[in-house]
Structure 1
Amino acid sequence: MKLFSREQIYEADQQTIKKQDITSTELMDRAGSQIFNWMHLRLQGAQVPIHVFCGIGNNGGDGLVLTQHLISHGYHVTTYIVNYSHKRSKDFLINYDKVKSMTKTWPVVLEDNEAFPEINQEDIIVDAVFGIGLNRPVPDWVKDLFIHFRKTKAFTLSIDVPSGLFLDQPVKDEDAVVWAGYTLSFASPKLVFFLPETAKYTAQWEVLDIGLDQEYLMSTKTEADLIGKHEVLPLYMPRDKFSHKGTFGHTLIIGGSYGKIGAVILSSRAALSAGSGLVSAYVPKCGYIPLQSSFPEAMVLTDRDENEITEISFDLKPTVIGMGMGLGTSPNTLDAFEAFLKNNKTPLVIDADAINLLSKNKALLKLLPIHSVLTPHPKELERLIGTWSDDFEKLEKVKSFSKKYHAVVVIKGANTITVFQEKIYINTTGNPGLATAGSGDVLTGIITGLIAQSYSALAAAIFGVYLHGKAADITIEDYGYQSLTATHVIEYMGKAYLDLFEQPQQLPQEEPKEDN
Structure 2
Amino acid sequence: MHYVYEETNSLDDRCYTTFGLTPEILMEHAGLALAHAVKKKLTCKKSALFVCGMGNNGADGIVAARLLHGAYNVSLYLPFKIKSELAKLQLERAKKVGVIVVDELIDADIYVDALFGAGLNRPLDDLTCKLLETLNAKQGYKIACDIPSGILSDLTLSSVIFQANETVTMGALKLALLNDNVKDAIGDIKVANLGISRNQYETPSSLFLLHKSDLRLPFRIKKNANKGTFGHVAIVQGSKEGAARLAGMGAFHFGAGLVTLIGEKPKKLPIYLMNSETLPKNANVIVAGMGLEMPFDEVALKTLLLSNTLPLVIDASLSQHPLLCEIIASQKPLVLTPHPKEFSSILELTCKEKVSVEAIQANRFAYAKRFSLAFPHVVLVLKGANTIIAHNGELFINTYGTPALAKGGSGDVMSGMIGALIAQGYTPKDAAISGSLAHALVSRKFTCNNFALTPIDICKGLKWL
Q: Normalized against structure 1, the TM-score is what? A: 0.81
CA displacement, residues 342-370 of structure 1 (integer Å, 9 cap, x when unaligned): 42321000111222324xx5543444444
Residues 1:433 and 2:404 aligned together: yes
- Structure 2 contact 372–378 (Cα < 8 Å) conserved: yes
For 2:405 and 2:184, the matched residues in 1 are separated by: 19
Q: Distance in 2 between matches of 1:180 and 1:31?
A: 18
Equivalent residues of 2:178, 2:399 under 8 A apart: no
Matched, 1:320 2:315: no
CA distance in 1, matches of 2:22, 2:172: 22
Partners in 2 of 1:415 and 1:104 — Cα distance?
A: 40
Q: Aligned-pair distance for 1:237? A: 6.5
* SS across alignment from 2:45: coil
Corresponding residue to 2:86 among 72, 86, 91: 91
Amino acid paired to 2:73: H
Q: How many angstroms apart in 1 are the aligned matches of 2:402 and 2:46?
A: 36
* C-alpha RMSD of the superposition: 2.5
Q: Secondary structure at the match of 1:162?
A: coil
Q: 2:355 aligns with which of 384, 387, 399?
A: 387
Give the counterpart letter for 1:32 in structure 2: G
Distance 1:247 1:184 in 2: 47
Whether 2:265 is the aligned partner of 1:301: answer no
Contact 1:274 / 1:493 at 8 angstroms: preserved in 2?
Answer: yes
Q: Give me the identity figure in percent.
A: 30
* 1:215 Cα deviation after fit: 4.5
Partner of 2:453: 484
Q: Which amino acid aligns with 1:254?
A: V
d(CA) in 2 for partners of 1:232 and 1:206? Answer: 21
Distance 1:84 1:142, change over 3 A: farther
Match of 2:39 in 1: 40
Gapped regions of structure 1 (runs ≥ 5): 110-116, 303-312, 497-516
One-letter identity of the residue aligned with 1:60: G
Question: Could you tell me how far apart the structure 1 residues matched to 2:99 and 2:425 are?
Answer: 69
SS of the aligned residue for 2:321 comes to: helix
Q: 1:335 maps to which residue? A: 299
State the distance in 1 between where 2:39 and 2:366 align: 41
Q: Does 1:261 align with 2:261?
A: no
CA offsets 1:157-202 (integer angstroms, 9 cap, x no match): 110111231243311x322x32223211123333233322222322
Q: d(CA) in 1 for partners of 2:331 and 2:337?
A: 15
Shift of 1:451: 0.2
Paired residue secondary structure (1:472)? helix
Paired residue total: 456
* Residue 432 of structure 2, aligned match among 443, 457, 461: 461
SS where residue 290 of structure 1 aligns? coil
C-alpha contact 2:244 2:291 (8 A) present in aligned 1: yes
Q: Cα–Cα, structure 1 residues 45 and 69, in superposed 2: closer, same or farther, change >3 Å?
A: farther
Contact 2:218 2:421 in 1 (8 A): no
Query: In the alignment, residue 300 of structure 1 is paired with which amino acid?
Result: N
Find the residue that maps to 2:10 and give its secondary structure. helix
Provide closer, same or farther for how the CA distance between residues 399 and 156 of structure 1 changes in structure 2, counting only shifts above 3 A.
same
Offset from partner CA, 1:362-404 (integer Å, 9 cap, x none): 5434444443001112222222224232535443333333333
CA contact (8 A) 1:447 1:460 kept: yes
Does the Cα contact within 8 Å between 1:226 and 1:427 map onto a contact in 2? Answer: yes
In 2, Cα distance between equivalents of 1:333 and 1:119 = 68
| In 2: Cα distance, 1:399 partner to 1:261 partner | 33
Q: Indicate whether 1:4 and 2:4 are aligned.
A: yes
Residues 237 and 57 from structure 1, CA distance in 2 versus in 1: closer, same or farther, beyond 3 angstroms?
A: farther
Question: By how many angstroms is 1:446 displaced?
Answer: 0.3
Equivalent pair of 2:2/2:208 in contact (CA under 8 Å): yes
Give the superposition deviation at 1:214: 4.1
Q: Deviations over 1:292-329 (max 9, x none)?
A: xxx22233102xxxxxxxxxx43513111111121222
Deviation at 1:133, TM superposition (A): 1.4
| 1:48-103 alpha-carbon deviations (Å, 9 max, x no partner) | 3x221112221111111111122232x22221223257x32x32222122112112
CA distance in 2, matches of 1:266, 1:104: 61
Q: Normalising to structure 2: TM-score of the pair?
A: 0.90
Amino acid at match of 2:250: A
Structure 2 distance, partners of 1:445, 1:370, is: 18
- Amino acid of the structure 1 residue aligned with 2:64: L
Select the structure of larger CA radius of gyration: 1
| Structure 2 contact 148–186 (Cα < 8 Å) conserved | yes
Pair 1:189 & 2:173 matched: yes
The answer to whether the aligner puts 1:199 opposite 2:183 as a matched pair is yes
Q: Relative contact order (C-alpha < 8 Å, sep 6+): which is higher? A: 2
Say whether 1:248 aligns with 2:230. Answer: yes
Asked whether the equivalents of residues 51 and 125 of structure 1 are also in contact (C-alpha less than 8 Å), the reply is yes
